[in-house]
C-alpha cells in the first residue's frame, strides 16, 4: 500500500491542495487540545516532583530540570501522539471509511485517480510534517505549565525554575523528541488510513474501524516508544 | 465495444458468475438486467475493474483490460465514466467542483476552459446555473443528473450506469433514461446499464443481457424481449401482479 501512496501524484496541484487542507486540519484543528493537555502535564509533573523531592537533599531547582527533560524525552511526543491517535486518527479512519461506503473511493478509482496517493498520501505526509511541530509547541507549553504551577504558587522562585531549565541541558533530547514525533505520527496516520480505506460493511463496521485505528495506533506508539528508548536513550 | 469472455467470479464457496460471455456495442445502450442477487452488479464491477474475475477476459476494443499494468489501467479508466446507484457525489464539494474534479485531475485546461466545459455539461443535463449548490441541496433526480454530468465531463468512450433509476419516481426515471440514451447516441459511447427497471428495458435497451443465477440466461434486443422463449425472463418481466393481470387480460 505504501508503495502506491508514495508514487507520483496524478496532478501535483491537487495533491498540494489536499496536503495543505490536511496540514491545516491536523495542525490548527489539534492546537487547542494539545495545548490544554500539555499545560496540565507540565503543571502536574512540577507538582508531583515537588511532592517527591520534599524532605530530600535534592535542590528545588531540579524541578525545572525534570519538567524540561521529561517533557522533551517522553511526555510531549508520546502523550501528544496518543491523544492525536484518538483525535486525528479516528477522524482519518472515519473520513476514508465514509468515502468507501458512499462509493466516493470507487468513483475516483474508476476515473483513474490513484486513490492511495491522493487520499492517503496527504494525510500521512501532512501528519508527519505537522505533528512534530505540534509536539514542539506542546513541549514549550508543558514547560510553561510547570512554571505556572510552581512559581506563582510559591513552590519555587522564578530564578530557581529558570536555573533548573538551564541545567544539564542535552541538545540530543530535542532531536530525540523530534525523532519520536516523526515516527509516532507516521504510525498513527498510516494505521488510521489503512483501517479507514479498507473498511467493509455499514456504520457499525465504520465505528469499529475507527476504534481499531485508535487502539492499534496507541499500542504501536507505545511499542515504538520502547524500541526508540532502547535504541536512542540507553548508554 | 466491450467484450466479456467467460467471466467467472466466486466469493468464498459462492459461485456468483458462472462463465458469462457477452458483447456491449458502441453507440448503444447495453442493458444488464436480472433479479436482485443475480450477479449483475458483480458483472458491472468486473467490467469497470473494481473487482477482478477468477477467470475470463475483458476487452475494451483492442485492449485486454486484465493484462494492463497500473499506469495503463489508469489510462483506460480515464476513458470511462460511471454513474453510481447513490450518485457518489463528493459531499464537501459544490456541483461545479464535483464536475470539475476529473478535469482538475487529468487535464491541463485553464480555469476558464474548465468552467466552460462544466457549464456545457450542466446545460446538457438541464442543470444550468446550479453550479454553486451542494449535493445535500439537490433532489435525488438532480443528483443523478450531476452524476451523469461528472461521468461525461472527460468525454468518455465507455459509460457505466449502476441502477440509474433506483429511488426515483417514474417520471424522473424516464428523464434520466432519455438523458443517458441521447448522450450515448450523440457521442457514440459504449454504455452499459445495470437495471431491473422494465420501463428502461423497453425504452432505451438496445441490447439486453438477462442474468439469472450467475448465467447469461438470455441475450437479444428489446423488440424480442416480450416474445422470448426464456421462462425465467418471462417470470422476471411479469413479476408484478399488475402486469400479470394485464397479460392475462390481453391473452383473453
Evaluate whether residue A151 is within a structural domain: yes
Query: Which tens digits make up the pLDDT trace of A205-219?
Result: 999 999 999 999 999
| Residue numbers of A between 126 and 185 with CB closer than 8 Å to B | none
Q: Hey, are the CB atoms on B77 and A109 less than 8 Å from each other?
A: yes
CB B173 within 8 A of CB B203: no
A13 interface with B at CB cutoff 8 Å: yes
Query: Which tens digits make up the pLDDT trace of B79-132?
Result: 999 999 888 999 999 999 999 999 999 999 999 999 999 999 999 998 998 999
CB B212 within 8 A of CB B232: yes
Evaluate whether residue A225 is within a structural domain: yes
Sheet architecture: strand order including B207-212: B80-83, B158-162, B190-195, B29-33, B207-212, B215-220
Domains of chain B plus CATH, in order, are: 26-50+76-251 (3.40.50.300)
What does DSSP assign to residue A8?
Answer: P
Residue A192 grid cell: 488510521
A101 interface with B at CB cutoff 8 Å: no
Evaluate whether residue A4 is within a structural domain: no
Query: Which tens digits make up the pLDDT trace of A26-82?
Result: 999 999 999 999 999 999 999 999 999 888 888 989 999 999 999 999 999 999 999
Evaluate whether residue A1 is within a structural domain: no
Evaluate whether residue A123 is within a structural domain: yes
Evaluate whether residue A180 is within a structural domain: yes
Tell me the residue range of the domain where A165 lies.
12-229
Contacts of B154 in chain A (CB under 8 A): 111
Q: What is the dihedral of CA B69, B70, B73, B79, to 10 degrees?
A: -140
Taking Cα atoms as reference points, which of B156, B199, B157, B209 lies closest to residue B176? B199
Q: Does this model's pTM top 0.90?
A: no
Residue A158 grid cell: 522564578
CB B159 within 8 A of CB B82: yes
Tell me how crowded residue B25 is: count the other CB atoms within 10 A of its CB: 14
Q: Is B159 helix (H, G, I), strand (E, B) or coil?
A: strand
Evaluate whether residue A6 is within a structural domain: no
How would you class B66 by CB atoms within 10 Å of its CB: exposed for 0-12, middle for 13-18, buried for 19 or more?
middle
How many domains are contained in chain A? 1
Query: Which tens digits make up the pLDDT trace of B34-60?
Result: 888 888 889 999 999 999 999 999 999
pLDDT (0 to 100) of residue A108: 92
| Radius of gyration over every alpha carbon of chain B, rounded to an integer in angstroms | 19
| Residue bearing the bigger pLDDT, B227 or A218 | A218
| Radius of gyration over every alpha carbon of chain A, rounded to an integer in angstroms | 20
A36 interface with B at CB cutoff 8 Å: no
A3 interface with B at CB cutoff 8 Å: no
pLDDT above 90: residue B202: no
Evaluate whether residue A63 is within a structural domain: yes
A110 interface with B at CB cutoff 8 Å: yes
Residue B158 grid cell: 465507455
Query: Which tens digits make up the pLDDT trace of A111-157?
Result: 888 899 999 999 999 999 999 999 999 999 999 999 999 999 999 99
Write the CB contacts of B245 (distance below 8 Å, at least 6 apart in sequence): none
B34 interface with A at CB cutoff 8 Å: no
Report CA-CA distances (Å) from A206 to A85, A173, A213, B85, B121: 16, 39, 10, 21, 35
Nearest CA in chain A to B89: A104
Interface pTM, i.e. ipTM: 0.85
Residue A53 grid cell: 523531592
Report CA-CA distances (Å) from A31 to A15, A27, A51, A130, B72: 24, 6, 30, 11, 43
Select from A10, A103, A104 the Cβ nearest to the Cβ of B106: A10
Residue with cell 508514487: A7
Tell me how far apart the terminal alpha carbons of chain A are, to the nearest angstrom: 37
Mean of the pLDDT values across residues A183-206?
Answer: 95
Q: Hey, are the CB atoms on B160 and A110 less than 8 Å from each other?
A: yes
Residue with cell 522562585: A157
Taking Cα atoms as reference points, which of B134, B185, B160, B181 lies closest to residue B27? B185
Amino acid at each position: 500500500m505504501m508503495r502506491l501512496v508514495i508514487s507520483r501524484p496524478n496532478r501535483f496541484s491537487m495533491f498540494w491542495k489536499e496536503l495543505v487542507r490536511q496540514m491545516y486540519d491536523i495542525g490548527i484543528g489539534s492546537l487547542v487540545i494539545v495545548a490544554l493537555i500539555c499545560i496540565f502535564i507540565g503543571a502536574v509533573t512540577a507538582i508531583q516532583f515537588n511532592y517527591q523531592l520534599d524532605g530530600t537533599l535534592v535542590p528545588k531547582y531540579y524541578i525545572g530540570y525534570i519538567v524540561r527533560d521529561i517533557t522533551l524525552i517522553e511526555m510531549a511526543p508520546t502523550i501528544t501522539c496518543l491523544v492525536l491517535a484518538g483525535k486525528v486518527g479516528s477522524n482519518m479512519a472515519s473520513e476514508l471509511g465514509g468515502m468507501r461506503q458512499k462509493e466516493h473511493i470507487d468513483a475516483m478509482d474508476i476515473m483513474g485517480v490513484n486513490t492511495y496517493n491522493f487520499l492517503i498520501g496527504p494525510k500521512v505526509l501532512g501528519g508527519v510534517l505537522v505533528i512534530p511541530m505540534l509536539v514542539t509547541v506542546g513541549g514549550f507549553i508543558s514547560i510553561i505549565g510547570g512554571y505556572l504551577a510552581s512559581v506563582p504558587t510559591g513552590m519555587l522562585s522564578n530564578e530557581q525554575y529558570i536555573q533548573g531549565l538551564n541545567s544539564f541541558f542535552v541538545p540530543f533530547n530535542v532531536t530525540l523528541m523530534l525523532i519520536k514525533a516523526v515516527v509516532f505520527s507516521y504510525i498513527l496516520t498510516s494505521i488510521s488510513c489503512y483501517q479507514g480505506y479498507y473498511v467493509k460493511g455499514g456504520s457499525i463496521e465504520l465505528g469499529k474501524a475507527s476504534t481499531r485505528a485508535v487502539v492499534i495506533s496507541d499500542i504501536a506508539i507505545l511499542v515504538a516508544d520502547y524500541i526508540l528508548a532502547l535504541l536512542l536513550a540507553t548508554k | 465495444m466491450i467484450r466479456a469472455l467467460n467471466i467467472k467470479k466466486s466469493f468464498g464457496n459462492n459461485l456468483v458468475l458462472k462463465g458469462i460471455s457477452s458483447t456491449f456495442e458502441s453507440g448503444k445502450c447495453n442493458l444488464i438486467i436480472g433479479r436482485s442477487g443475480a450477479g449483475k452488479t458483480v458483472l458491472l464491477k468486473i467490467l469497470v475493474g473494481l473487482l477482478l474475475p477468477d477467470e475470463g477476459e475483458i476487452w475494451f476494443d483492442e485492449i485486454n483490460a486484465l493484462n494492463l499494468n497500473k499506469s495503463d489501467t489508469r489510462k483506460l479508466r480515464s476513458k470511462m465514466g460511471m454513474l453510481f446507484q447513490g450518485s457518489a457525489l463528493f459531499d464537501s464539494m459544490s456541483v461545479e467542483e464535483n464536475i470539475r474534479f476529473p478535469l482538475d485531475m487529468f487535464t491541463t485546461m485553464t480555469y476558464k476552459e474548465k468552467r466552460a466545459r462544466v457549464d456545457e455539461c450542466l446545460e446538457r443535463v438541464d442543470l444550468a446555473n446550479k453550479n454553486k449548490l451542494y449535493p445535500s441541496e439537490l433532489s435525488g433526480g438532480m443528483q443523478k443528473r450531476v452524476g451523469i454530468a461528472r461521468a461525461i465531463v472527460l468525454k468518455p468512450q465507455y459509460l457505466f450506469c449502476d441502477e440509474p433509476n433506483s429511488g426515483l419516481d417514474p417520471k424522473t426515471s424516464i428523464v434520466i433514461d432519455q438523458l443517458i440514451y441521447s448522450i450515448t447516441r450523440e457521442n457514440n459511447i459504449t454504455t452499459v446499464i445495470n437495471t431491473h427497471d422494465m420501463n428502461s428495458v423497453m425504452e432505451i435497451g438496445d441490447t439486453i443481457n438477462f442474468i439469472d443465477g450467475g448465467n447469461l440466461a438470455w441475450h437479444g434486443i428489446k423488440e424480442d424481449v416480450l416474445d422470448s422463449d426464456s421462462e425465467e425472463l418471462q417470470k422476471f418481466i411479469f413479476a408484478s401482479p399488475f402486469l400479470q393481470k394485464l397479460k392475462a387480460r390481453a391473452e383473453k
